[in-house]
Amino acid sequence: MQQPVPDALIDLIYDAAGEAALWPRVIAAVADLLGSEGGVLFGLSVARNRVHFTYDARLDPESHRVHAERHVQNVWSRVMSQQPVGSVVFSDEILPETDLVATEFWHDVLRPQGLIRNAMVPITRSGQFQGAFNILRTPRQGPFAERDRAVLRRVVPHLKRAMQLHLRVEAHEALAGAQFAVLDCLAMGVVVLDRMGAVIFANRAARALHAAGGPILLKDGTLTARLPAEAAALSARLRAVAEGRAGGAVRLTDPGGARAAFALVAPLRGRVAGLLDDEGLRSAACAVFVSAGPPPPADARTMMRIYDLTPAEARVAAELAQGRSYAAIAGSLGISINTVKTHMRRILAKAGVDRPAEFASLAATLQLVRL
């Protein structure tokens, strides 16, 4: 029988998306589930020999320092940087242990910790940045088996989604703290506009998207989409924010790679706008986050926390955020259309918007930013 993933672990994984201090508990729980010593979650750029962040459970901080200084490129990472996101690879499938122990990487990083085996998963990748999840074992804990791979494969979808949310929250928190150096390390494009729609900050990734013929154009102090139809949609979102209404998501296309992309437009208000003003970004009114892939739907727990909804209201709100009709929501939740309408009146009042479409647009940003 397949070993189930405990509900408590899944909850903890999603909690870590918004509270980074919980990642070591997540890693430890997965390691315990697999009967392993510990593990680590890296955000790194292998080609650039750069580690952006490290969360670990029961590993040695000094070995992390040595890894970051001398061994970002190693016998494992060079192979894993080419593996598809979500694939589970055991270290002995890359290199036999008899060959591993002859490497400087083993001598400098693994041997001091008494480690020899690794179960590795790339959980996110954008450009040269990737998130790498690793569970490690000592010699006495034996090799990984296919049942361990099966467990990891059931955990990985939750890790992937949580890491995507974590990176988006980090992007906004960096913006809120005016940590522009951090923003320049992100693979996601971040553009800040003032109340008149003029660009007052664009991070390195946003400028690179423009220069490479990507989905956005930064020209004469303005931001627009490269394709005319998408430019009109993005302009409408920016205009809505300027008029005090909700932001939302715009689907974009990367003309060069013909890949799907998206922009999320979010108003900057209150404390965030004040912090940016203090740091020299005068009149910051709007942030646009540009990334690949469609925006994920907001979940019911996020809705409850942000808008003080009841559980029943939150379930309706999460369905609406995915673009579903009243009839579809009623069918999905097993309630009447009149009950859906009653919940919606309360949801709109709590969110401070007038129409369901406005709420759906606002909800589309919730998994990217926290305002």
Q: List pLDDT tens digits, range 102-123.
A: 999 999 999 999 999 999 999 9
Q: Kindly tell me if the per-residue pLDDT of 284 is higher than 60.
A: yes
Same fold, 7-167 and 177-292: yes
- Please report the pLDDT score of residue 49 as a whole number: 86
- The domain locations on the chain are 7-167, 177-292, 300-363
Q: Kindly tell me if the per-residue pLDDT of 204 is higher than 90.
A: no
Average pLDDT over residues 212-239: 89
- Please report the pLDDT score of residue 258 as a whole number: 56
CATH match for 300-363 among 3.30.379.10, 3.40.50.300, 3.40.50.1970, 1.10.10.10: 1.10.10.10
Query: pLDDT-based confidence at 338, cuts 50/70/90?
Result: very high
Average pLDDT over residues 89-101: 96
Phi and psi torsions of 69, nearest 5°: -80, -35
Q: Kindly tell me if the per-residue pLDDT of 322 is higher than 60.
A: yes
Q: Kindly tell me if the per-residue pLDDT of 283 is higher than 80.
A: no
- Please report the pLDDT score of residue 367 as a whole number: 47
Query: pLDDT-based confidence at 186, cuts 50/70/90?
Result: low
Domain 177-292 carries which CATH code?
Answer: 3.30.450.20
- Please report the pLDDT score of residue 199 as a whole number: 87
- Please report the pLDDT score of residue 371 as a whole number: 33
- Please report the pLDDT score of residue 370 as a whole number: 38
- Please report the pLDDT score of residue 25 as a whole number: 96
Top pLDDT among 259 and 245 is at 245
Please state, rounded to an integer, the average pLDDT across all residues of the chain: 82
Q: Per the structure block, which two tokens stand in for 300? A: 């019911």
Q: Kindly tell me if the per-residue pLDDT of 11 is higher than 80.
A: yes
For the 7-167 domain, the top CATH level (class) is alpha beta
Three-class secondary structure assignment of the chain? CCCCCCHHHHHHHHHHHHCHHHHHHHHHHHHHHCCCCEEEEEEEECCCCEEEEEEEECCCHHHHHHHHHHCCCCCCHHHHCCCCCCCCEEHHHCCCHHHHCCCHHHHHHHHHHCCCEEEEEEEEEECCEEEEEEEEECHHHCCCCHHHHHHHHHHHHHHHHHHHHHHHHHHHHHHHCCCHHHHCCCCCEEEEEECCCCEEEECHHHHHHHHCCCCEEEECCEEEECCHHHHHHHHHHHHHHHCCCCCEEEEEEECCCCEEEEEEEEECCHHHHHHHHHCCCCCEEEEEEEEECCCCCCCHHHHHHHHCCCHHHHHHHHHHHCCCCHHHHHHHHCCCHHHHHHHHHHHHHHHCCCCHHHHHHHHCCCCCCCC
Least trusted range by pLDDT, from 57-66, 86-95, 123-132, 149-158: 123-132
Top pLDDT among 79 and 367 is at 79
- Please report the pLDDT score of residue 221 as a whole number: 85
- Please report the pLDDT score of residue 102 as a whole number: 96
- Please report the pLDDT score of residue 250 as a whole number: 79
- Please report the pLDDT score of residue 63 as a whole number: 94
- Please report the pLDDT score of residue 174 as a whole number: 52
For tokens 């029961």, the residue is 58
